[in-house]
Amino acid sequence: MTPDQLLTRPGAALPTLRGAVAGLPPYVPGRRSAGMDIAALASNESHYEPLPAAAAAVSAAAGTMNRYPDSAAVELRERLAGHLGVTAEEVAVGPGSVGVLQQIITGLCDAGDEVIFAWRSFEAYPILVELAGARPVRIPLDDAEGHDLEGMAAAVTDRTKVILLCTPNNPTGVPISHDRIETFLRAVRSDILVVIDEAYVEYAEAGSGPDSMALYRRYPNVCILRTFSKAYGLAGLRVGYAVAAPDIAEGLRRTAVPFSVSALAQKAAITSLDAGEEMEARVAAVRQERARMAEQLEAQGWKLQPSQGNFLWIRADESLRARLVDAFDAAGVMVRAYQGDGVRITVADPASNDRVLRLLEAHAASTIA
């Protein structure tokens, strides 16, 4: 546009973003590029095609897209409630569990309130907290790449409204044990909502993480956050949910953007709950690949913490990170790199995983030995 097309007066003020928005850390999406032989291992998606029953449900529902969806998602909430042994009043759904988490933070935090989470953890956490005008409080991970729950409990102040626990943690894959969370819940004030983000719970070995439903039943300030995006393979449809005390869940439903979970997403999620066995078989295959990769990487000389997610975490200083990113980029293998911290690689099909193993082997020889 040339200056003479501008119709504002010279020097007139223009719209500005709120400070909280202007200062936001940008959300960095997984790298993706069109082209041959790209391995998409940057976003922890399922590499499987959608479950056939879910794809069929979406096709059938496509004929109703001139209509708004059920804004209360009654059928999905009832099915989830039956699945989890709670009431539909205790379930809130949203556009991905990130959408639900935004409802949680905007529903509970006033400007200046504090939200405590581990760092490094899920990149969306600081963004959602700052967007709400609340203050992110990051507690560094411990030496074993896990949550420092003592440090998190010690960081509680009068302004703390929400604490986020991510198990298994994205990006490190380290779970938080049931007993440690229970000890933590006894130590923190009961008016703080403790959100247990279990986006990868299906990939975790039984007993490695918490029995979160048992914790929820005993501690009404617990909120469980889950998603259909990962093991269920519905990342592109955007549907996740929270289980929380009825008044909190009701509040989350009220803060939701109306109709944010489409009818297609609702139908696909309902159908997916019936396809648990198929999902389990896929998850078992990913777990097996995860174990195979971890074993080979250890043999190559890499030091890894056991991951309970569908991804592996390579701790790397800046120089190693930069070299790995270059090598992966050149090979068309898309992974997620975190400045100063390391690289996260999604476990996928055996052929893609083999590419990762070969790339890392070349680097193990030059960086570790």
The answer to whether 235 contacts ligand PLP (rule: CB under 6 A) is: yes
Stretch that binds ligand PLP, among 12-20, 56-64, 187-195, 225-233 (CB under 6 A): 225-233
Cα atoms in the Cβ-side hemisphere of radius 13 Å centred on 97: 22
Q: Report the residue from 39, 51, 92, 98 that binds ligand PLP according to the rule CB under 6 A.
A: 98
Footprint (CB under 6 A) of ligand PLP, residues 107-126: 122
Residues 40 and 44: their CA atoms lie apart, in Å, by: 9
151: left (phi over 0), alpha (psi -120 to 50) or beta: alpha
Sorted by sequence, the CB contacts under 8 Å of residue 246 that are 6+ apart come out as: 87, 89, 90
Q: Report the residue from 39, 79, 88, 96 that binds ligand PLP according to the rule CB under 6 A.
A: 96
Q: Mask of contacts with ligand PLP, 26-65, x by CB under 6 A?
A: ------------------x---------------------
Q: Are 172 and 146 in contact (CB under 8 A)?
A: yes
Count of residues touching ligand PLP (by CB under 6 A): 14
Residue for token pair 């980029």: 329
Footprint (CB under 6 A) of ligand PLP, residues 236-255: 240
- The phi, psi pair for 248, rounded to 5°, reads -70, -45
Name the burial class of residue 29, with classes exposed (0-12), middle (13-18) and buried (19+) by CB atoms within 10 angstroms of its CB. exposed
Mark out the alpha helices in 132-275 (DSSP H runs). 149-154, 178-187, 212-218, 246-255, 263-274
What are the distances in angstroms from CA 1 to CA 4, 5, 13, 132? 8, 6, 18, 34
The answer to whether 168 contacts ligand PLP (rule: CB under 6 A) is: no
Q: What is the largest CA-CA distance in the chain?
A: 68
Q: Are 308 and 355 in contact (CB under 8 A)?
A: no
The answer to whether 270 contacts ligand PLP (rule: CB under 6 A) is: no
The answer to whether 272 contacts ligand PLP (rule: CB under 6 A) is: no
The answer to whether 97 contacts ligand PLP (rule: CB under 6 A) is: yes
The answer to whether 227 contacts ligand PLP (rule: CB under 6 A) is: yes
Q: Report the residue from 46, 170, 305, 352 that binds ligand PLP according to the rule CB under 6 A.
A: 170
Stretch that binds ligand PLP, among 4-12, 46-54, 112-120, 224-232 (CB under 6 A): 224-232
Measured from the CB atom, the residue of 227 and 262 that comes closer to ligand PLP is: 227
Q: Report the residue from 46, 102, 229, 266 that binds ligand PLP according to the rule CB under 6 A.
A: 229
Least distance (Å) from ligand PLP to the CB of residue 141?
14
Measured from the CB atom, the residue of 260 and 271 that comes closer to ligand PLP is: 260
Interface positions with ligand PLP (CB under 6 A):
44, 96-98, 122, 166, 170, 197, 199, 227, 229-230, 235, 240
